[in-house]
Structure 1
Amino acid sequence: MKFIQSIFLLLFLCGFNSAFAQEKSENFSVDFETFNLENGLKVILHQDKSDPVVAVALTAHVGSAREKEGRTGFAHLFEHLLFLESENLGKGGLDKLSARIGGSGANGSTSRDRTNYFQTVPNDALEKMIWAEADKLGFFINTVTEPVLAKEKQVVKNEKRQGVDNRPYGHTFYVVDKNLYPEDHPYNWQVIGSLEDLQNATLQDVKDFYNRWYVPNNVILTISGDFDKDQAKEWVHKYFDEIERGPEVEELKKQLVTLSESKRLYHEDNFAKLPELTLTWPSVYSYHEDSFALEILSNYLSEGKNAPLYKKLVEEKKLTGSVNMFNYTSELAGQLMLQVRAYDGKDLDSVKMAIEESFQDFEKNGIPEKDLKRIKAGLETDFYNSISSVLGKGFQLAQYEIFAKDPNFINKEIDKLLAVSKEDVLRVFNKYIKDKNFIATSFVPKAQIELALENSEKAEVVEEKIVEGAEEDFDVSTEVSYEQTPSSFDRSMEPPYQGKPELIIPEIWDSRMPSGMQIIGITNTEVPVVQFSLEMKGGQLLESPAKAGVSNMLANMMTKGTAKKTPAELEEAIELLGASIYVNSSEEKITISGNTLAKNFKETIDLVQEILLEPRWDEKEFELIKQQTLSRLQEEKGDPNAIAQNEFKKLIYGEKSILSFNELGTPETVENLSIGDLKNYYEENLSPLAATFMAVGAVSKDEAVNSIKAISANWAPKNVSFPEVPEFQLPEKSGVYFYDVPGAKQSVLAFGAPALSAKNEEFYPAEVMNYRLGGGGFASRLTQELREGKGYTYGIRSRFADQSYVGPFMISSGVRSNITYEAAELVRDILMEYPQTFNQEDLDVTKSYMIKSNARRFETLGAKLNMLREISDFGYDYDYIKQRESLVENMSVLDVQDLAKKYIDPEKMFYLIVGDAETQMGKLEDLGFGTPVLLNEQSEN
């Protein structure tokens, strides 16, 4: 995957308005059109005129299932290669194009069965995207050279270290799949492959893979958004017609698996601080008739207060804070998985026994009709929530074409889920779980093997050793000549823009309630859904160091029942509405947010009123939340990324500031908190005078105001005293700080210093300045030099934290351990040179991106809600987006250089590294910032 991300089930419905919100799903249908080129390319078109954007996705029916043992990871490696260059786009390929045209960033993902490439762009750039996608499919492979392949191997290996080798429980799926699937089954190996196989890949291997699978008759092109169909078809024919059809692709047969016996395996995890049990049963392939009932079964057994597993393991036995169960399906087979991360020191045999007791209870009682109804209501809301992105609409159509052999399945899946009966749920339990063999994996902390299941065998896990100078050298700057693939026209000429997208800022309405609470919103009837957020200033800022973590605990408590409803009753009331309500605490606020069907908005807000004004203060739930919080704190001790985040805050804010504390608190403060502390915080700090209610979606101003009246009338206003946050100062000189995680496969870098507040008039100009440094993804120098030039990292970024007080400028990355010094040195040098070397070309690309990308800014309800949030938090004008366009237009090279000198000084910065001190810390003295300071002792780990 180019960048790690998850894509949910995304469906499209057309013709929504408020009246439709009261109808059942069968009244909705998808509007799409398909056609095939003579070379076999399938094209799916879907029009959505709601925003001036269009998404283009190329989906190849090839994933790791098409690989062979010893040559694993090819499909994923190839996904990376396809972005780098093509004959007519040149070096940088889609990434450079994306920056110029204001795209969302060219991205892709690889699964067991398919690889896709996708991007959303302003609709004036559609022809450019069709031209670029055709260039990847037909005019690419000649540009892959030995240095290019060598570099990208390092990038992918860094991705594996980051996502698997250097994080707690990262090897779980490797162990499960190796033992669930036979050696000759294409799901026996991981999508990302092994480090050894990646290193052994040859240039000829890569070319053979491309020529076999990246052919028009194995690819689907989807175009979704605001475009002219006839014009799009003309461009598709122009750019794709002459790409030759490839060899016929034989469809793989379904390969469901069975287990002749159960297997129990254990692994001592270098990073895990808590024991975790994973149970896996063979399941079914995607869209199998039983898959829908299995999804509901997984949901019922594990999610929420009414779930049998939650009741038994969390509430009764107090073995864990949560249970996770899901049905992981793919094209050929599937696996039903149950994961429990137990509390510190808990024996996993007791977890397994509690699971068996839960299953026995379920077998006796089945699923109550009321629970089936609430789960279906949630699935229906998920259906509506999933359709606000044109990218998702097109992407999902391709998924259905490949895996269901019918893109029109988009009109059928939700009905399949809603048709599941309680008899179906019990039937699939008996068929796939009861008395069936399974794979059990026990991942336990180092030296705690006694916590693993009895009679478990040691799992085979390949651990990489840190070896200095182990990676091969390469030079990707070397010019290589190659023979151009012939074409009937000059493809080197980039197509022009077609028209100009008009930036239309959504109309914002607002009101002020008698209590002092502000209401602000945007009405949008594209889908019958409302997203809302009630945001109350305070959060961590109103804590004292002795009570650190109290606002987080309070936020967790607020959804655990009301004066009128038990925790289970409240959860059920929310879910029966097909709604979600969350309460979260952050540095500056406590937020009650959620989403609901428009028809249930008033009833949902009535529940928000109960949650806010009638807390239950349930002692049992308080003790449970305390244990869950302590467990999370213990878990973070083994996560290098969490360690980096927590240690960086201490350096930026200083130990006297409450902001330097983990938002969860510390083990000592959490242990000492009482329910009285939560009540005191609640009574003293939550006030409508410091609250804003925001709503976007299918709701009018009057409906929103009327729904909030009862909250306003019953919430007594009181003045809240907010502490003055000091102007955090830059360090007098740079220093290097090291946190030791013995055996770490990567070093996590967190470099930065205090910078400025989001309320500062220079905040947005500073963000503009940072685009070419590290904020612009593949358009940034940090990415181009550390990832694309050296292969040191999978990803690196820099950003300014948007807070109402002075927040930090921060550079973050994970780099392979054996080049920690070299990576830090390169970052330092880039920072030193940036003010002097930023030029007119950099400014032109920055301006083009910053202005053109605004066409995508308001596409989803979440994006609209975030705009309202920035207006509320920082006092921006309602038309601040247009104001920023003018600001960007008028910025000069000198302006950017001055901002870089002012806010990015590598000589006054904290350089924090979390990694293996024994092999990496000593060399960092050569950075020139003094002897590195060790922040912890090895005995702590």
Structure 2
Amino acid sequence: MKTLKFLNLLLFLGTTVVAQESKNFSVDFETFNLENGLKVILHQDHSDPVVAVALTAHVGSAREKEGRTGFAHLFEHLLFLESENLGKGGLDKLSARIGGSGANGSTSRDRTNYFQTVPNDALEKMIWAEADKLGFFINTVTEPVLAKEKQVVKNEKRQRVDNRPYGHTYYVVDRNLYPEGHPYHWQVIGSLKDLQNATLQDVKDFYNRWYVPNNVILTISGDFDKEQAKEWVHKYFDEIDRGPDIEELEKKPVSLVEIKNLYHEDNFAKLPELTLTWPSVHYYHPDSFALEILASYLANGKNAPLYKKLVEEKNLTSQVEMFNYPSELAGQLMLQVRAYEGKDLDSVKLAIEESFSEFEQNGIPEKDLKRIKAGLETNFYNSISSVLGKGFQLAQYEIFAKDPNFINKEVDKLLVVTTGDVMRVFNKYVNDKNYVATSFVPKGSLELALEGSEKAEVVEEKVVEGAEEKFDPNQKVSYEKTASSFDRSKEPPYHGKPELNIPKIWDARMPSGMKIMGITNKEVPVVQFSLEIKGGQLLETAATAGASHMLASMMTRGTAKRTPAELEEAIELLGASIYVNSEEEKISISGNTLAKNFSETMDLVQEILLQPRWDEKEFELIKQQSLSQLQEEKGDPNSIAENEFKKLVYGENSILSYNELGTPETLRNLSLEDLKDFYEENLSPLASTFLVAGFVEKEDAVDAVKAISASWPPKPVKFPEIPEFTPPQKSKVYFYDVPGAKQSVLAFGAPGLSAKNDDFYPAEVMNYRLGGGSFASRLTQQLREGKGYTYGIRSGFADRSYIGPFMISSGVRTNITYEAAELVRDIVKDYASTFTSEDLEVTKSYMIKSNARKFETLGAKLNMLREISDYGYNYDYIKEREKVTEELSVLDIQDLARKYVDPERMYYLIVGDAETQLEKLEDLGYGEPVLLNPEDSN
């Protein structure tokens, strides 16, 4: 332990950066270093009684070796499981008790971070826990622990990469952009083979090399006492030994000596996709800011040259995506186009070249540069609107910019980019430069790939029964505990009690009948809003399915006064975003904007709502885009599961059983007149509420929407009576065949209850230990932690004003489909009878303590207003729910489970490989499985 004199010296040597008194928004923080090299960054924000704690290690896949890939990411998983003093369950178990957001982490090429937001009374517990992971962890990693977590990570790879359309794109790109030996040649998640070959000694060597204080940053951001936090940091981290010095890796930009054209026939893709990738620059390179603006200008939105050429003029695709992807050592600029069905990717490539040629002649107009900068500035403020967001950014800047104060500089770097800079980086990195082109085409459609493409190397996993390594998660293994100068096994106490600050809600009602609800919050100079109009899909008929979605899309395609491009430009010049979305029960016009431009943004919302353009060309374009999206969903197992589950739960006679996009038949038959009729009959201020949260006072918000109310004639809207959906009388298994699927997607459930039902919130409390509490839930503990069957599984009740579904969802490895389904059924069957007082104690602790985090961000505040508006909750419903939670007994929970979660009255839907998995599912005891798509099966 360090002497007090030395501690004071360390504090003195720390640095403090204070916001300058100016009109510019800035973030205050303080940094200091421990003697062992740990860098600590503190940011105080007293607006909510929460604190975010993040541990960021400067290690990612770039520090691995070929043949031993995926270690950084595997290690991220392991670090959550156990440590010497937290015991089994580690941070996940602690998180459930203290009301945390759930311990989580992420791995990139260059860093791994671990993070959580907790009520501020638990800060010492978090500092204790993070120190235990850093200095008192590795002895707990045993052979069975490693074997199980390998299966979890392999399932994650299957879910994110192997079992989805275009999942192998980055694998092909990176192997051809970066040469062998380059740290970015392999994927962050690694290969299944490398993961399987990882040994216990490999893991220990990795930990001892990289997880040392001198390679880690601790960030604490939120509502805490700074001096007390420093004292705790010293107490728990000081005696962790410094590791060997870490050499900084040199930048490794790449260049291509030739163009590389590659193709892959994708088992899941239904549409052809072209990806072009050029070498670019590392994080915060002087050119990175101009490259970000270049990518945004060329591809994003209706004013973008690539959009105009490929979408509007050539009718090749519904959208174009282009982005700069920087990392610590190098970077890549990527352009992706998912073309319409049957489109030759050579025609896509030719259109891209035409766009580039025109851009070379015309450059970027000053007004477009201005609108893009405004949008990027708003995006930056949104990224730091939470204490966790600020903590993330401070650590990011410390590692990659060598300056956490870059958080107060990045916007300025963007704002000084000139039109000349944008053209310069275009010529330097894109124009006539070599690239990697990948053509991912549906199976049997090789003719759609770029001419002259070579077959890409892609490793496809074979589905083999019984291929996975066996392990015993309950095997007892002893280890020697790491010495400490004090008893670390004693969990620190809570300090104080977080004051639940329910945001003050103001409201108003306009003469038109429209309601207004708002929350004023001045943490960041941004306003979020949503005009919510009751109706949506519920007001469609079988003949007009998809009309609501199409109408929502039409409303952003210009106004009576502006073309689509002019409208988008007007929005972006304000640093705003405006979206129109259709859901089952509503159409909403939502977005966010810089606070100084709120009134002007509302003027545009009024135009969008009350002066639609009704452009025939845009209508046909939307129709084609929707048809293309329906085709695309046919290849995505998760989309298939969602769509098929709705049919089972709601029955084919309900409009709710339809895809919200509609069907190919209804879309082809819809006319522009049909949309006009839908608009005239179903949008009314009498069924509308305007919600707003952020840097705006009540009177300013009301003034800004007065014109909307005054110009919008109120008219009654007739809402259909929604039937009381009920569970099936007997459970049945349904199977949708996706030949060659690497995972089976499970969607088990039945109609549950309405969010207006008095039992809805108690049922959510009941579900916490079943499947709603992530690592605190039995489904996760048994299927992921106990068996290694899945990367993730959850259960929950959908909140709707009508009876929404209860659903259990997961992706499990294909060769244990039956075993996973059986285990889920048995967990649900036993849940009520085995729910204990200990389960109730953990549940109550989480449900009550987590309320401290309930309203931190503007999005969370807006969602609070939305729940009150949609379901008629009282303004203080959070406090009411605390009382409900406190009063629930074990018997109450058991009764709720029996009433709303009955495994004998459920739909068991599986989307997977029928040839290898279908037959065994009859053993579940629910009769012969029903194959939903026999015409598509082998």
Smaller-chain TM-score range? over 0.9
Paired with 1:29 and 1:815, the residues of 2 have a C-alpha distance of 45
| 1:326 counterpart (319, 323, 327) | 323
Instruction: Note if contact 1:285-1:334 (Cα within 8 Å) is conserved in structure 2.
Output: yes
- Asked if 1:179 corresponds to 2:172, the answer is no
Corresponding residue of 1:221 = 218
Matched, 1:258 2:252: no
- Preserved CA contact (<8 Å) 1:308 1:362: yes
Does structure 1 conserve the Cα–Cα contact (< 8 Å) formed by 2:547 and 2:675?
yes
Query: Residue 836 of structure 1 corresponds to which residue in structure 2?
Result: 833
Q: Does residue 398 of the first structure (1) align with residue 390 of the second (2)? A: no
Match of 1:780 in 2: 777
Structure-2 separation of matches of 1:233 and 1:122: 18
Residue 191 of structure 2 corresponds to residue 212 of structure 1:
no
Give the partner amino acid of 1:330.
S
Post-superposition offset of 1:383? 2.1
Aligned partners of 1:448 and 1:385: how far apart in 2? Answer: 42
Does 1:37 pair with 2:48?
no
Aligned pairs, number: 923
Cα distance, 1:709 vs. partner?
A: 1.2
Where 1:738 maps in the other structure, the secondary structure is strand
695-704 vs 924-933, which moves further: 695-704
Unaligned runs of 5+ in 1: 1-11
Runs of 4+ in 1 over 6 A off after TM superposition: 12-17
Residue in structure 2 matched with residue 745 of structure 1 by the alignment: 742
- Deviation at 1:13? 12
Give 1:368's aligned residue: 365
Compute the displacement of 1:16 (Å).
12
Greater CA drift, 929-938 or 759-768: 929-938
SS at match of 1:322: strand
**Which amino acid letter does the alignment assign opposite residue 189 of structure 2?**
I
| Cα deviation 1:359-381 (Å, max 9, x = unaligned) | 00000000000100100111111
Other-structure match for 2:687 = 690
Distance 1:705 1:15, change over 3 A: farther
Decide whether aligned partners of structure 1 residues 581 and 83 sit closer, same or farther in structure 2, where only a CA change above 3 A counts: same
Q: Where does 1:573-584 land on structure 2 (aligned, <5 Å)?
A: 573-584=570-581
Query: 2:639 — aligned with what?
Result: 642
Report if the CA contact (8 A) 1:795-1:813 is conserved: yes
Query: 2: distance between equivalents of 1:134 and 1:577?
Result: 45
Q: Tell me, what secondary structure is at the counterpart of 1:584? A: strand
How many Å separate the matches in 2 of 1:727 and 1:760?
12
Encode CA deviations 1:489-541: one digit per residue, 9 max, x unaligned: 00000000010001011111111111111111111112221111000000000
**For residue 9 of structure 1, what is the aligned residue in structure 2?**
none
Task: Indicate whether 1:315 and 2:351 are aligned.
Answer: no
Report the CA distance between 1:15 and its aligned residue. 7.9
Identity %, equivalent residues = 83
Partner of 1:497: 494
Shift of 1:939: 3.0
Q: Deviations over 1:699-728 (max 9, x none)?
A: 111111111111111111111110010001
In structure 1, the residue corresponding to 2:752 is in which secondary structure? strand
Cα deviation code 1:316-366 (max 9, x no counterpart): 000000000000000000000000000000000000000000000000000
Distance across 2 between alignment mates of 1:940 and 1:915: 11
Which residue matches 1:894? 891
Is the Cα–Cα contact under 8 Å of residues 16 and 526 in structure 1 kept in the other structure? no
Residue 873 of structure 1 is aligned with which of 870, 878, 898? 870
Question: Could you say which residue in structure 1 is the equivalent of 2:725?
Answer: 728
Report 1:378-777 matches (<5 A): 378-777=375-774
Partner of 1:358: 355
Structure 2 counterpart of 1:588, one-letter code = E
Is the 2:64–2:72 contact (alpha carbons within 8 Å) kept by the matching residues of 1?
Answer: yes
Deviations 1:150-197 (A, max 9, x none): 000000000000000000000000000000001010100000000000
Distance change (3 Å), C-alpha of 1:16 and 1:779? farther
TM-score, normalised with respect to structure 2: 0.98
Matched, 1:919 2:916: yes
Q: Distance in 1 between matches of 2:882 and 2:125?
A: 23
CA shift at 1:938, angstroms?
Answer: 5.0
Structure 2: state its 5+ residue gaps: 1-15
- Of 285, 293, 296, the residue aligned with 1:299 is 296
Q: Secondary structure of the equivalent of 1:468?
A: coil
CA distance, structure 2, for counterparts of residue 839 and residue 198 of structure 1:
38
In the other structure, the counterpart of 2:11 is none
Counterpart residue number, 2:7: none
User: Cα distance, 1:28 vs. partner?
Assistant: 3.1
RMSD: 1.2
Deviation sequence 1:90-111 (CA, Å, 0-9, x none): 0000000000000000000000
CA distance in 1, matches of 2:692, 2:406: 32
Aligned to 1:6: none
**Superposition deviation, residue 14 in structure 1:** 8.8
What SS does the corresponding residue of 2:317 show, helix, strand or coil? coil
Q: Does 1:189 align with 2:186?
A: yes
Could you tell me how far apart the structure 2 residues matched to 1:506 and 1:434 are?
52
Confirm or deny: 8 A CA contact 2:504 2:519 kept in the other structure: yes
Secondary structure of 1:495's aligned partner: coil
Letter in 2 for 1:234: E
CA distance, structure 1, for counterparts of residue 656 and residue 488 of structure 2: 55
Query: Is residue 105 of structure 1 aligned with residue 112 of structure 2?
Result: no
1:13/1:387 contact within 8 Å kept = no
- Equivalent of residue 848 in structure 2, options 823, 833, 851: 851
C-alpha separation in 2, matches of 1:592 and 1:285: 37
- Following superposition, the deviation at residue 937 of structure 1 comes to 2.2
| Matched residue, 1:136 | 133
Hey, what does 1:910 align to over in structure 2?
Answer: 907
Q: CA deviation at 1:209?
A: 0.4
> Residue 517 of structure 1 contacts residue 689 of structure 1 at CA under 8 Å; is this kept in 2?
yes
In 2, Cα distance between the equivalents of 1:468 and 1:13? 59
CA deviations 1:110-164 (Å, max 9, x no partner) are: 0000000000000000000000000000000000000000000000000000000
Q: Give 1:690 deviation, angstroms.
A: 0.4
SS in 1 for 2:434: coil
Aligned residue for 1:203?
A: 200
Q: Which one-letter code corresponds to 2:623 in the other structure? A: K
| Secondary structure of the structure 2 residue equivalent to 1:266 | strand
Secondary structure at the residue paired with 1:463? coil
Q: Equivalent of 1:861, from 835, 858, 861?
A: 858
| 1: CA distance, partners of 2:928 / 2:821 | 15
Paired with 1:818 and 1:226, the residues of 2 have a C-alpha distance of 48
The 3-state SS of whatever aligns with 1:321 is strand
Q: Take 1:706 and 1:398, find their aligned partners in 2: how far apart are those partners?
A: 41
Output the CA distance in 2 between the equivalents of 1:491 and 1:746. Answer: 42
- The 8 Å contact of residues 768 and 846 in structure 1, kept in 2 or not, is answered as yes
Closer, same or farther in 2 for the Cα pair 1:44/1:754, shift >3 Å? same
Instruction: Tell whether the 8 Å contact from 1:378 to 1:579 is kept in structure 2 after alignment.
Output: yes
Distance 2:27 2:730 in 1: 60
In structure 1, what residue type is equivalent to 2:647? K
CA distance in 2, matches of 1:226, 1:246: 32
The answer as to whether partners of 2:172 and 2:438 remain within 8 angstroms in 1 is: yes
Amino acid in the other structure paired with 1:839: T
Q: How does 1:74-93 map to 2 (within 5 A)?
A: 74-93=71-90
Aligned amino acid, residue 791 of structure 1: G
Question: 2: distance between equivalents of 1:538 and 1:86?
Answer: 51
Q: Which moved more, 1:693-702 or 1:195-204?
A: 693-702
Q: How far apart, in 2, do the equivalents of 1:810 and 1:480 lie?
A: 37
| TM-score computed with the length of structure 1 as normaliser | 0.97
Query: How big is each residue's C-alpha offset from its partner over 1:866-900, in whole Å with a ceiling of 9 and x where there is no partner?
Result: 00000000000000000000000011000000000
Aligned to 1:8: none
Q: Distance in 1 between matches of 2:733 and 2:516?
A: 46
The SS at the match of 1:252 is coil
The amino acid across from 2:203 in the alignment is V
